[in-house]
Protein backbone atom coordinates (compact mmCIF):
# COMPACT_ATOMS: atom_id res chain seq x y z
CA UNK A 1 0.00 0.00 0.00
CA UNK A 2 1.46 3.32 -1.04
CA UNK A 3 0.11 6.47 0.49
CA UNK A 4 1.48 9.23 -1.69
CA UNK A 5 0.67 12.14 0.57
CA UNK A 6 1.16 10.34 3.82
CA UNK A 7 4.89 11.03 4.00
CA UNK A 8 4.15 14.70 4.57
CA UNK A 9 1.56 14.12 7.26
CA UNK A 10 2.46 14.64 10.90
CA UNK A 11 0.38 12.66 13.38
CA UNK A 12 -0.59 14.82 16.35
CA UNK A 13 -2.93 12.40 18.09
CA UNK A 14 -4.49 8.93 17.93
CA UNK A 15 -8.09 8.31 19.01
CA UNK A 16 -10.51 5.40 19.22
CA UNK A 17 -13.64 5.47 17.09
CA UNK A 18 -15.72 5.55 20.28
CA UNK A 19 -14.06 8.83 21.28
CA UNK A 20 -14.55 10.65 17.99
CA UNK A 21 -17.70 9.26 16.33
CA UNK A 22 -20.25 10.85 18.71
CA UNK A 23 -18.65 14.24 18.09
CA UNK A 24 -18.59 14.37 14.28
CA UNK A 25 -21.09 14.82 11.47
CA UNK A 26 -23.67 17.32 10.29
CA UNK A 27 -24.59 19.85 12.96
CA UNK A 28 -21.59 19.10 15.20
CA UNK A 29 -19.37 21.88 16.47
CA UNK A 30 -15.62 21.94 15.85
CA UNK A 31 -13.53 19.88 18.25
CA UNK A 32 -10.68 21.54 20.15
CA UNK A 33 -7.56 19.40 20.43
CA UNK A 34 -4.64 20.03 22.74
CA UNK A 35 -1.52 19.14 20.72
CA UNK A 36 2.24 19.44 21.13
CA UNK A 37 2.02 22.62 19.02
CA UNK A 38 -0.84 24.11 21.02
CA UNK A 39 -4.63 24.11 20.80
CA UNK A 40 -6.26 23.61 17.42
CA UNK A 41 -9.91 23.70 16.38
CA UNK A 42 -10.93 21.08 13.80
CA UNK A 43 -14.10 21.27 11.71
CA UNK A 44 -16.09 18.04 11.85
CA UNK A 45 -19.36 18.84 10.06
CA UNK A 46 -18.25 18.11 6.48
CA UNK A 47 -19.80 15.57 4.12
CA UNK A 48 -16.59 13.56 4.56
CA UNK A 49 -16.97 13.42 8.34
CA UNK A 50 -20.69 12.63 8.11
CA UNK A 51 -19.80 9.81 5.69
CA UNK A 52 -17.27 8.39 8.19
CA UNK A 53 -19.78 8.77 11.03
CA UNK A 54 -22.33 6.71 9.12
CA UNK A 55 -19.95 3.96 8.03
CA UNK A 56 -16.44 2.99 9.10
CA UNK A 57 -16.17 -0.01 6.78
CA UNK A 58 -14.78 0.08 3.23
CA UNK A 59 -17.75 -0.54 0.95
CA UNK A 60 -15.58 -2.59 -1.43
CA UNK A 61 -13.19 -4.77 0.65
CA UNK A 62 -15.12 -4.55 3.95
CA UNK A 63 -12.03 -3.64 5.97
CA UNK A 64 -13.20 -1.94 9.17
CA UNK A 65 -11.40 1.19 10.39
CA UNK A 66 -10.32 1.32 14.02
CA UNK A 67 -8.66 4.69 14.65
CA UNK A 68 -8.95 8.39 13.98
CA UNK A 69 -5.63 10.19 13.60
CA UNK A 70 -5.31 13.92 14.06
CA UNK A 71 -2.88 14.91 11.32
CA UNK A 72 -1.37 18.03 9.79
CA UNK A 73 0.95 19.08 6.99
CA UNK A 74 3.43 20.62 9.41
CA UNK A 75 2.82 21.89 12.93
CA UNK A 76 -0.84 22.93 12.94
CA UNK A 77 -1.00 23.67 9.20
CA UNK A 78 -4.11 22.01 7.72
CA UNK A 79 -4.89 20.00 10.82
CA UNK A 80 -7.67 17.48 10.20
CA UNK A 81 -8.97 14.09 11.29
CA UNK A 82 -8.27 11.04 9.15
CA UNK A 83 -9.92 7.65 9.49
CA UNK A 84 -7.60 4.63 9.42
CA UNK A 85 -7.32 0.93 9.93
CA UNK A 86 -4.16 0.57 11.98
CA UNK A 87 -2.68 -2.84 12.63
CA UNK A 88 0.86 -1.63 13.19
CA UNK A 89 1.91 2.02 12.94
CA UNK A 90 5.10 1.24 11.04
CA UNK A 91 3.99 -1.49 8.67
CA UNK A 92 0.22 -1.60 8.20
CA UNK A 93 -1.87 1.51 8.19
CA UNK A 94 -4.73 2.05 5.71
CA UNK A 95 -6.18 5.50 5.09
CA UNK A 96 -9.90 5.88 4.40
CA UNK A 97 -11.46 8.24 1.90
CA UNK A 98 -14.89 9.63 1.21
CA UNK A 99 -15.61 8.25 -2.24
CA UNK A 100 -17.95 9.77 -4.81
CA UNK A 101 -19.92 6.57 -5.56
CA UNK A 102 -21.14 7.99 -8.86
CA UNK A 103 -17.99 9.82 -10.02
CA UNK A 104 -18.13 13.57 -10.45
CA UNK A 105 -17.43 13.22 -14.18
CA UNK A 106 -20.50 10.97 -14.46
CA UNK A 107 -22.61 13.68 -12.88
CA UNK A 108 -22.39 12.39 -9.32
CA UNK A 109 -23.15 14.90 -6.56
CA UNK A 110 -20.95 16.17 -3.76
CA UNK A 111 -23.68 15.39 -1.24
CA UNK A 112 -23.97 12.73 1.43
CA UNK A 113 -26.26 10.51 -0.68
CA UNK A 114 -23.36 9.99 -3.12
CA UNK A 115 -20.69 9.55 -0.44
CA UNK A 116 -19.28 6.14 0.49
CA UNK A 117 -16.55 5.23 2.95
CA UNK A 118 -13.76 3.55 1.00
CA UNK A 119 -10.18 2.61 1.83
CA UNK A 120 -7.37 4.24 -0.12
CA UNK A 121 -6.42 1.06 -2.00
CA UNK A 122 -9.95 0.36 -3.22
CA UNK A 123 -10.42 4.01 -4.18
CA UNK A 124 -7.23 3.90 -6.25
CA UNK A 125 -8.52 0.81 -8.07
CA UNK A 126 -11.96 2.32 -8.63
CA UNK A 127 -10.90 5.74 -9.91
CA UNK A 128 -13.62 6.98 -12.27
CA UNK A 129 -15.10 3.57 -13.05
CA UNK A 130 -18.84 3.25 -12.70
CA UNK A 131 -20.51 1.18 -11.62
CA UNK A 132 -17.56 0.06 -9.51
CA UNK A 133 -16.99 -3.66 -9.45
CA UNK A 134 -17.33 -5.18 -5.96
CA UNK A 135 -14.38 -7.37 -6.87
CA UNK A 136 -12.22 -4.38 -7.71
ZN1 LIG B 1 -11.15 -1.29 0.65
pLDDT at 69: 97
pTM for the model: 0.89
Tens of pLDDT along the chain (136 residues) come to: 445 555 689 999 999 999 999 999 999 999 999 999 999 999 999 999 999 999 999 999 999 999 999 999 999 999 999 999 999 888 889 999 999 999 998 899 999 999 999 999 999 998 777 666 554 4
| Distance from Cα 84 to the centre of ligand 1, integer Å | 11
DSSP the chain: ---TTGGGPEEEEEE-HHHHGGG-STTPPPEEEEETTEEEEE---SHHHHHHHH--B-TTT-PBP-EEEEEESBTBTT-EEEEEEEEETTTEEEEEEEEESS-GGGT--SSGGGEEEEEHHHHHHHTT-SSPPTT-
| Distance from Cα 40 to the centre of ligand 1, integer Å | 30
Which residues sit with Cβ closer than 5 angstroms to ligand 1, an ion?
58, 60-61, 119, 122
The answer to whether position 79 is within a domain reads yes
The answer to whether position 64 is within a domain reads yes
Domain that holds residue 47: 6-126
* Domain total of the chain: 1
pLDDT at 2: 46
The answer to whether position 131 is within a domain reads no
The answer to whether position 90 is within a domain reads yes
| Distance from Cα 58 to the centre of ligand 1, integer Å | 5
For residue 83, the cross-strand partners are: 68
Amino acid sequence: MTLINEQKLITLGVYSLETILPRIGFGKKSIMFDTMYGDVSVKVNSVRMECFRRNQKCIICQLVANRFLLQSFGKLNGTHLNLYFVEDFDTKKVLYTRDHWVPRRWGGSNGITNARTMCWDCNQNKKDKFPPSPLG
